[in-house]
Chains A and B, each alone.
Chain A
Amino acid sequence: MEFQQTTLDNGLEIIAECNSKAYSCAVGFFVRTGSRDEDSSLHGVSHFLEHMAFKGTPTRSAADVNRELDEIGSAANAYTSEEHTVYHAAMLPEYLERGIDILSDMMRPSLREDDFETEKQVILEEIAKYDDQPPFGAYERIMEIHFGDHSLSRSVLGTIESVKALTAAQMQDYFRKRYSASNMVLVGSGKIDFDEFVKMAEQRCTEWDTFDASRNTERAPAHFAESTIEKDIANQQYVIQACSGPSAEEPERFAARMLSLIIGDDSGSRMFWDLIDSGRAEWAGMSPHEYQGTGLFLSYLCCAPEDCQENLQIVNGIIEAVQQEGVTEKELLQARSKICSHVVLRGERPMSRLYDIGSEWLQRRKYQTLREMADGYRNVSLEDIAKTVEKFPLNKRSTVTVVPAT
């Protein structure tokens, strides 16, 4: 596998991990924009815009975009997070140029008024769909608490009210401020000839405008509180807890990931043995979340309402024990094997590598081989773990509980 990179005159970066032995290739436009770049009047616009990119361009109707993506047999999709919007497609190498032609065209969408109103209904249905899933609302609430008035507190989807209030003109304005060529990266992986890849991009992307689309990445101060949400349709009880964690730039992020595996992976972790294996909870876990300038750990619990208090004490007991006594060498060894094997298995599919190298580049402007990625985790020591929990105390947290309505 060979990594290559270049930057077009307008600032569009192009990176690729070329693997001549792959059967397929994957490409994607990774855009440094997401819900943290919205103000309250634009809540939900990044995700809505991601949908609108599929609704046509000056030369393609919405039906053309969908039809052409299917004609090249691609598996294409997109997602929006707090910090990124990613448009991606996996395909056979012979379709690469057509794939880039469609995806790059989608990056200059028409944002037509009638498409905007139809798609608004789809987004409202998406929100209604999640609203019927009882944990929904807990993640949004804990982000609101933890990040206070920082823009990371705003949900990616938006609310029914905020999405209803959005106009096509507001979206066009947002697009003009965020989709600068220099705020985007074209990423490729798998069977790709890099020189050809760059030529294809040059023919299609050189006219894109460049302007400042930087964001404030200062560490957001953390806030702590407890909150309860009553949900009519819930039968189980759900708890989510947040505490501060390493940002995307901080070296402790490797230790944070190992720590989360040891405390809350879905198999073989402390939470697994004490809550799942023992039949106390349906699920329980922990994961690190990194953003530019800030980060957090989230832990989750789902169980019968009558057992929730006791189970939460067990979760907090696990966390307290790690905070005070650290983890064991044996646990660290197990987590290393697990993560290194995971890294190797992911490396076999161009689509998985696309996410890895694209996200790495957006967050840190770095490329990591599979081995370097595995080594980052393999080198985490017990001391690193101890330092990480000292810097980011796991027991200083917020708690949101979703309870069945009485």
Chain B
Amino acid sequence: MTQSIFSHQLENGLVVLGERMMWLESTAFSFLIPAGYTREAVEQQGLANLTTDMMQRGCGRRDSRQFVEDLELLGADTSSNAGVTFSGYSGSMPAESLHDTLAIYADLIRRPHLPEDQFEDSQSFCILEAKGLEDDLPQLAMNELRRRSYPAPFGRHGVGTVDSLSSLTPASVKTFWESHYQPKGAILSVAGNFDWDKLLSQVDELFGDWQAKDIQGIEETDPIGNYGHIPHESSQTQIGISYPAVPCDHDDYYLARAAVGVLSDGMSSRLFTEVRENRGLCYTVSAAYHALKDRAAVMCYAGTTSERAQETLDVTLSEIQKLSAGITEDELRRLKARLKTALIMQQESSRARSAMLAGDWYYLERCRPMQEISDQIDGLACDEINKYVAANPASDFTIVTLGENSLENSVGVSADDA
């Protein structure tokens, strides 16, 4: 696996990352701006998301229609989202469109119109999104699980509430943009078929004179109770379970990830086998590693009809707890095969690689060559994983249920109302 990975930091702090994949016809970029929803005041929840919508309503010499039309003529498939730490803008496109697309995004980031006459449209759309969440029960349950798993503001979700969104004004958006759209802490990654020197010179031209600002710390509040039940007249009961895990830069990271993999990665994983295949309790059951910069958690989900919800919770918890008794050589061999395959297949996707580069830089402050990840996977040993899971059994559970009845649990998590 030979790779050409590049990195460069502008004087203003903007980090530029690149990976050349000359066998592709496409190029993709990810632009992370340190304007995530943990930067919102508590009464302004949803502001980061509303700002990303407003940012795309005209910039530089383009009004909102021209902005969309120009991107479509370039063949750029773009998206945006407001995450925990960053507001992200990304896109993939035919390789020859990269530079024109980046020029448009420089206008978007630095010279947005934030048109006041479109504010109400943007606000209405965000309110609809918040209301729409009420019809997405798995998401509602998992949002509540996150809220209880991390201290505020890290446990928030980005959409906001009808009340918080209704209180926002054009001035709130402008202030949020002025305060948080800045190069210090921002990451631009590009992967695919492109020339690094040409990219750097363009980035310098577009962003070299962008002024940096200080980044303020984020104040955390105490976490709330660790069992919540949301009563609902749904057919299924939604179950969310979480427990803390080591963060990405921890020495035991690969061991912890491997343990989650044995639990939920693949059709022969323990949760799929015991909950779905052997008992037919669920259509969907999963566990995933969820990382913030300095902390992480394993988040599990299962959805099942109400009369089988108690058994589903019991079996799922039991499988999570059984992990501490160790995994088998066969389980590890299968996991390695799946991880290696997924890694190699990343070479077929400029989009996947650009996201991976930016993520690595944020979590680890460097980009891991694929060979290093491959070596780490090869080096995983059963006895080391077993020592790790024995010394670090899953504990400090948080549980959320949404459905007809609240459920009992065997892990000492006591109930309160969500």
Contacts and interface: CB of A to CB of B under 8 A. Distances in A.
A341 B93 contact: yes
Interface in B43-60: 57
A120 interface: yes
A122 B282 contact: yes
Given A303-B128, A333-B73, 18 more contacts: A62-B277, A63-B273, A67-B330, A67-B334, A71-B334, A76-B267, A92-B344, A125-B283, A128-B305, A233-B232, A235-B132, A235-B134, A236-B132, A282-B131, A334-B73, A341-B93, A344-B25, A349-B345
Contacts of B120: 279
30 contacts: A21-B23, A23-B347, A23-B348, A63-B268, A65-B267, A66-B267, A66-B272, A66-B273, A70-B266, A73-B337, A74-B341, A122-B280, A129-B235, A129-B236, A131-B235, A132-B137, A132-B235, A133-B135, A232-B233, A233-B135, A235-B134, A279-B120, A279-B122, A279-B127, A282-B125, A282-B128, A333-B73, A344-B75, A345-B93, A348-B24
Nearest to B134: A235
Interface of B: 23-26, 57, 64-65, 68-69, 72-77, 92-94, 97, 120-125, 127-129, 131-132, 134-137, 232-236, 266-269, 272-273, 276-284, 303-305, 330, 333-334, 337-342, 344-345, 347-350
A63 B277 contact: yes
Contacts, number: 187
A115 B197 CA distance: 59
A144 B167 CA distance: 44
A215 interface: no
B283 A122 contact: yes
Contacts of B278: 118
Contacts of A16: none
A301 to B, nearest CB: 12
A121 B280 contact: yes
Contact of A70 (B72, B283, B334): B334
Most interface-central of A62, A92, A122, A235 (chain B CB within 10 A): A122
A54 interface: yes
A120 B132 contact: no
Contact of A341 (B75, B136, B304, B347): B75
A158 to B, nearest CB: 14
A337 B125 contact: no
A159 B121 CA distance: 40
A345 B77 contact: yes
A134 interface: yes
A277 interface: yes
A350 B345 CA distance: 10
B68 A268 contact: yes
Contacts of A120: 280
A273 interface: yes
A347 B92 CA distance: 13
B132 A302 contact: yes
A163 interface: no
Interface string A272-294: 01001111111000000000000
Q: Which 10 A-B pairs have the closest CB atoms?
A: A341-B75, A279-B124, A121-B280, A73-B337, A73-B341, A279-B121, A66-B267, A279-B125, A70-B266, A126-B283
Contact of B69 (A62, A236, A268): A268
B281 A121 contact: yes
If over half of B's interface residues share one DSSP class (helix, strand or loop), that class is named, otherwise mixed; here it is helix
B305 A125 contact: yes
Interface in A115-158: 118-126, 128-129, 131-134
A21 B193 CA distance: 15
Interface in A220-268: 232-236, 267-268
Interface residues of A, number: 68
Contact of A24 (B74, B75, B345): B345
Nearest to A71: B334
Contacts of B305: 124-125, 128
B348 A278 contact: no
Contacts of B137: 132-133, 233
A120 B283 CA distance: 11
B392 to A, nearest CB: 25
Nearest to B303: A129
A348 B349 contact: yes
A348 B303 contact: no
Contacts of A123: 283
Contacts of B127: 279
Contacts of B283: 122-123, 125-126, 129
Nearest to B75: A341
Contacts of A380: none
B207 to A, nearest CB: 25
Given A233-B234, A273-B65, A344-B94, A267 B333 contact: no
Contact of A234 (B135, B235, B284, B338): B135
B276 A122 contact: yes
Contact of B338 (A66, A70, A133): A70
A132 B236 contact: yes
Given A129-B283, A349-B348, A277 B77 contact: no
Contacts of B284: 129
A8 interface: no
A200 interface: no
Nearest to B352: A349
Contacts of B72: 267-268, 334, 337-338
A149 B261 CA distance: 47
A304 interface: yes
A399 B392 CA distance: 56
Given A70-B268, A232-B233, A341 B125 contact: no
A199 interface: no
B89 to A, nearest CB: 14
Contacts of B64: 277
B68 A281 contact: no
A282 B383 CA distance: 51
Nearest to A231: B135
Contacts of B125: 276-277, 279, 282
Contacts of B129: 282
A166 interface: no
A126 to B, nearest CB: 4
Contacts of B75: 337-338, 340-342, 344
Most interface-central of A73, A273, A344 (chain B CB within 10 A): A73
A54 B125 CA distance: 42
Contacts of A71: 333-334, 337
A177 B53 CA distance: 53
Most interface-central of A342, A347, A348 (chain B CB within 10 A): A348
